[in-house]
Structure 1
Amino acid sequence: MAVVLAAAGVFSSQSVAAAAAGRSAIFGGGPFYQDGQAVIDTLRASGFTTVILWSIHVHTNGDLYYNDTLIVSGGQYVGDSGWPARLRRLKQAPTSVNRIEVSVGAWGTGDWEAIDSLITRDGTGSGTILYRNFLALRNATGADAVNNDDESHYEVDSTVKFARMANAMGYRQFTLAPYTAVSYWQGVTNSLGTLVDRVYLQGYDGGAGNNPASWAQSLGRPIDPGLWSKHGSGCGAGDSPAQVESKMRSWHGSAGIPGGFMWLYDDIKACSSAGTAADYARAINNATSS
């Protein structure tokens, strides 16, 4: 494997071509916003095919925050003026990235409760603050999909209305990130059909016991499971790239998984001596190739 000098803007053709071997996604938080062009170049050269911006938080007035930073208000993008241009570079050749998603929700947040309340109050028309703010978010990020990381509210009707609203404004797909509450996710997938094209099943933390095969049967579609990279004190917790490849390869055989994802770029960056983004992408791509 040739050396990749991502920070210098030099890309290995082998690392980019590796993405063709499988399907791999990576969730990331603050570094995707704060680390400038360096993180963009790292991702483009990594081998990951999908970048998921985690997490968008919806406040009760409709304002959108990227983690703790206000980025959309009053139908206008108000975040870092350089971020949209940097994100546009993600899918520009040479790159392994062909898809960007914005993830909404997280453990311990009220994002989907706020969405439900806003839809109940205003509906989903193009003049509503929810519609205008998510349109501004799409225009700023160029996102191909909205990812649903609801971990508390689990209300099918408002989720379906929101997904159809997002699709009407240009988000082509709606993806799911479940770890429990299978009946909720069944209701969403049954209602939305092909609008849901990926299910990123959490295979770590609260979802550590999840079986992609049983979830695939319950939801009637293939599953892209995820694992947590090395993290924590001394980077002793989580999975190494070798462990990720072994687990993904096993699931590819037992559940026919078409791809997988890594949680979390922030931890990969902090524990880079235990495995780089390229190492983890290669592990998933190799394991899920047909």
Structure 2
Amino acid sequence: MKKLSLTILLITLSFLHVCFASSAVFAGGPVYKERETSINELKKSGFDTLIIWTIHIHKDGSLNINEEFPIIENGNYIGDNDYPNFRRDVASLKKGNSHIKRIEFGLSAAGSPTYHNIKVLLKCKKSQDCDIKKNILYRNFMALKKAFPDVDALNNDDESELDLQSSVKFHRMLAYIGFKSTIVPYSDPDYWNQLIKKVNAKYPNALDRIYLQGYSGGSGNSPCEWNFGLPVSLGLSSNTSSVRNVYGTISKSKLKCPSVTKGGFMWLYDNFENSSLPKDYALAINTALNVKTQR
């Protein structure tokens, strides 16, 4: 009865006001392992943004999804060898009866050497080595863009390296290729603010969203304290936040700093796939942001 009454409340509130906002969800293995159910469920859930979790960069510059299967090596897409439907499924996410308008690839993770490898791979020993177009990272991310033209952005989850010089260079390279960048921090706001400024100074609005972790190490974070000129989405985890908690937390943040809190996201679809929760969480976020969910 409580769940029913909450759902009625959220649906009622969702028609009160319409404004720009974003509801996002991070999703890992189910996107390619349980594609028969996950792709359609994600499209119909009500989330407008999907972040596919996550790409790791190896020492040689190759790209791997979740250390489960390689997708790019030596400037070529090889993901079909393990998951031949992956590219087609990603391309289908924005098509047909889908709420999804934006797709991102996660990049790195806690404990990943990805950004250390970026730092090493972008280091120039000689002036002739500084041509970014000759770098293996440039070649591999060009191949990624060619393989996934519908992917809009790379989601930066650097949780250890935090090297400003190489990260700026790398994300400017992504902008040149045609990718947006986003960040998903939980601490070190000064570092992330500098990254935003330096990337966008060269390519305006290339880094265009902040997904602020409000769980685990980021518990207690407030978008109001991350006012760096970009829309902030507050993230919560299904491990610690019920649908009611999500609605309450994001709506409070929206009321406290409406000009900054422009979205919300859920971590992690893998933990609540193939259930009513994808729609329930999406509706909670959209309603908290006063967004009318399109049906």
**TM-score normalised to structure 2 length:** 0.84
Aligned partner of 1:207: which letter? G
1:166/1:48 CA distance change after superposition, 3 Å = same
Separation in 1, partners of 2:166, 2:217: 25
Residues 1:140 and 2:147 are matched in the alignment:
yes
Q: Which residue of 1 aligns with 2:241?
A: 239
Name structure 2 gaps, 5 residues minimum: 1-10
Which aligned pairs between 1:164-179 and structure 2 lie closer than 5 A? 164-171=172-179, 173-179=180-186
Q: Which whole-Å deviations, capped at 9, do the CAs of 1:261-288 have from their partners, x for residues lacking one?
A: 1000111128x4xx51111111111111
Aligned residue for 1:25, secondary structure, equals strand
Structure 1 moving runs of 4+ over 6 Å: none
CA contact 1:177–1:199 (8 Å) conserved in 2? yes
1:143/1:26 CA distance change after superposition, 3 Å = same
Aligned partner of 1:30: which letter? G
Which is bigger in relative contact order (C-alpha 8 A, separation at least 6)? 2
1:188/1:124 CA distance change after superposition, 3 Å = farther
Q: Which residue of 1 aligns with 2:271?
A: 267
Q: Which residue of 2 aligns with 1:71?
A: 71
Which aligned pairs between 1:207-286 and structure 2 lie closer than 5 A? 207-216=218-227, 219-229=228-238, 231=239, 238-256=240-258, 257-269=261-273, 272=275, 275-286=276-287
Separation in 2, partners of 1:289, 1:150: 31
Aligned partner of 1:88: which letter? A
Q: Which residue of 1 aligns with 2:214?
A: 203
> Post-superposition shift, 1:127?
2.9
Which aligned pairs between 1:50-89 and structure 2 lie closer than 5 A? 50-68=49-67, 69-79=69-79, 80-89=83-92
Q: Which residue of 1 aligns with 2:112?
A: 109
- Higher radius of gyration, 1 or 2: 2
Aligned partner of 1:58: which letter? I
**TM-score normalised to structure 1 length:** 0.85
User: RMSD across aligned C-alpha pairs, in angstroms?
Assistant: 1.9
Aligned partner of 1:266: which letter? D
Residues 1:149 and 2:157 are matched in the alignment:
yes
Percent identical among aligned pairs is 38
> Post-superposition shift, 1:124?
6.0
Aligned partner of 1:261: which letter? F
Separation in 2, partners of 1:81, 1:123: 35
Q: Which whole-Å deviations, capped at 9, do the CAs of 1:130-167 have from their partners, x for residues lacking one?
A: 11111222222331011110000111111111111111
Which aligned pairs between 1:26-65 and structure 2 lie closer than 5 A? 26-65=25-64
CA contact 1:37–1:86 (8 Å) conserved in 2? no
Separation in 1, partners of 2:184, 2:130: 25
Separation in 1, partners of 2:137, 2:224: 36
Q: 1:188 aligns with which of 177, 183, 195?
A: 195
